[in-house]
């Protein structure tokens, strides 16, 4: 069976899927063509049900539950790995509602977590995640919600953290932060869904067996990062939850879905 598979070019995703994509493990008769896109593009495609298997922000899960099921393997979920709200200077929390905030996509978990913490902040500007730092520096926006490798670079550019959105989520709910997961369309046969889930688990196990060595596949899609940043990225976003969400992981996702329903009903 042939399936289209979508995920981001970020090191955490290429680390997880390297062995599947490059035939380093037995894919048991399944073949994949890959579409590497920014997660917000994948989120939009999922609203149309475009890809059979795809990485998605957990924030969009509420909108696609009629089309997709969540797999147990491949997720980005953990503690201390949430998005950050950054600016050029420190800004009192009570003033944030009046600012223009750059967000890395309307359907991203980053935007949802920001909305949970600052429900009155509605002046948002959607941008590609990698453009947000410069938009803040240039004064195009007052502040920005950053994700991915920008967690490791914003201070080098003289920017300051106003809030760690993940810490806010953890402190108010006690749950780890569900950022993104791997989803499979409901029209895929159950046996194939289980097979894909098991392959992702096996692919990640293979990646860990070679770590901290980074494959050319990972490095080729992270051209602007040095290897230290790539490893920081992987260490932050790939963990035991990526191998299997388990009861704690699924409970965290459910808690985020409840929060998303409250936001949607406003």
Compute the distance between CA of residue 218 and CA of residue 8 in angstroms, rounded to an integer: 11
Q: Are residues 192 and 248 in the same domain?
A: yes
198 is in an annotated binding site: no
CATH number of the domain encompassing residue 47: 3.40.190.10
Does residue 133 contact residue 156 with C-beta atoms inside 8 Å? no
Residue 59 CA to residue 34 CA, distance in Å, equals 23
**HSE of 170, CA atoms in CB hemisphere, 13 A:** 16
Could you tell me if 92 and 168 lie in one domain? Answer: yes
Task: List all residues 6 or more positions away from 30 whose beta carbon is below 8 Å from its beta carbon.
Answer: 1, 2, 3, 192, 195, 196, 199
One of 2, 123, 148, 206 is an active-site residue; which one?
148
Same domain flag for 14 and 135: no
Instruction: Tell me if 55 is assigned to a ligand binding site.
Output: yes
Binding site annotation covers 110? yes
CA distance 83 to 239: 17
List the chain pLDDT tens, one digit each, 266 residues: 999 999 999 999 999 999 999 999 999 999 999 999 999 899 999 999 999 999 999 999 989 999 999 999 999 999 989 999 999 999 999 999 999 999 998 999 999 999 999 999 999 999 998 899 999 999 999 999 999 888 888 999 999 999 999 999 999 999 999 999 999 999 999 999 999 999 999 999 999 999 999 999 999 999 778 899 899 999 999 999 999 999 999 999 999 999 999 888 77
The CB-side HSE value for 134 (13 A sphere, CA atoms) comes to 5
The answer to the question of whether 56 is labelled as a binding residue is: yes
Do residues 19 and 70 share a domain?
A: yes
242 is in an annotated binding site: no
Q: Do 202 and 72 share a structural domain?
A: yes
Q: Is 148 a catalytic residue?
A: yes
The confidence score (pLDDT) of residue 104 equals 92
User: Which among 173, 196, 229 is the end of a domain?
Assistant: 173
| pTM reported for the whole predicted model | 0.91
Q: Rounded to whole angstroms, how far apart are CA atoms 46 and 251? A: 23
Q: What domain count does the chain have?
A: 2
Written as one string, the DSSP assignment of the chain is -EEEEEE-SSHHHHHHHHHHHTTSS--TT-EEEEEE--HHHHHHHHHTT--SEEEEEGGGHHHHTTTEEE-SSS-EEESS---EEEESS---GGGGGGS-EEES-TTSHHHHHHHHH-TT---EEE--GGGHHHHHHTTSSSEEEE-GGGGGTTGGGT-EEEEEHHHHHHHHH-PPEEEEEEEEETTS-HHHHHHHHHHHHHHHHHHHHHTTS--HHHHHT-TTS-HHHHHHHHHHH-SHHHH--HHHHHHHHHHHHHHHHHHHT-
Predicted pLDDT at 143:
98
* In a shared domain, residues 71 and 190: yes
pLDDT reported for residue 173: 95
Distance CA 77, CA 237 (A): 7
Per DSSP, what are the bridge partners of residue 124? Answer: 101
**C-alpha to C-alpha distance for 73 and 63, rounded to whole angstroms:** 21
Write out the residue range of the structural domain in which residue 124 sits: 84-173
Who contacts 163 (Cβ-Cβ below 8 Å, separation ≥6)? Answer: 84, 85, 93, 117
Does 169 share its domain with 88?
Answer: yes
Q: What is the pLDDT of residue 124?
A: 97
Statement to judge: residues 65 and 109 lie in one domain: no
User: Does residue 144 sit in the same domain as residue 220?
Assistant: no
Q: Respond yes or no on whether the N-terminal peptide bond of residue 95 is cis (omega within 30° of 0).
A: no
- On whether both 209 and 230 belong to a single domain, the answer is yes
pLDDT of residue 148: 82
Among 173, 190, 224, identify where a domain stops: 173
Q: Quick one: 233 and 191 in the same domain?
A: yes
Token couple for 242: 């990526």
Task: Answer yes or no: do 193 and 246 share one domain.
Answer: yes
Question: End of a domain among 155, 173, 191?
Answer: 173
């Amino acid at each position: 069976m042939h399936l289209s598979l979508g995920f981001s070019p970020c090191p955490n995703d290429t680390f997880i899927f390297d062995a599947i994509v490059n035939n380093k493990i037995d894919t048991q008769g399944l073949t994949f063509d890959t579409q590497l896109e920014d997660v917000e593009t994948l989120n939009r495609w999922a609203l149309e049900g475009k890809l059979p298997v795809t990485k998605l922000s957990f924030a969009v899960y509420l909108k696609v539950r009629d089309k997709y099921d969540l797999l147990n393997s491949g997720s980005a979920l953990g503690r201390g790995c949430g998005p950050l709200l950054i600016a050029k200077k420190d800004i009192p929390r009570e003033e944030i509602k009046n600012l223009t905030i750059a967000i890395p996509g309307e359907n991203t978990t980053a935007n949802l977590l920001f909305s949970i913490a600052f429900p009155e902040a509605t002046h948002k500007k959607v941008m590609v995640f990698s453009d947000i730092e410069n938009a803040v520096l240039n004064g195009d926006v007052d502040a920005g919600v950053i994700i991915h490798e920008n967690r490791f670079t914003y201070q080098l550019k003289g920017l300051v953290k106003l809030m760690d959105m993940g810490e806010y989520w953890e402190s108010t709910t006690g749950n780890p932060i569900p950022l993104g997961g791997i989803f499979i369309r409901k029209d895929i046969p159950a046996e194939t869904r289980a097979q894909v889930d098991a392959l992702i688990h096996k692919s990640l196990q293979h990646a860990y067996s070679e770590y901290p060595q980074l494959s050319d596949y990972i490095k080729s899609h992270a051209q602007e990062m040095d290897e230290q940043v790539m490893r920081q990225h992987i260490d932050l976003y790939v963990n035991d939850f990526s191998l299997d969400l388990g009861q704690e992981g699924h409970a965290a996702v459910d808690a985020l879905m409840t929060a998303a329903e409250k936001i949607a009903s406003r």
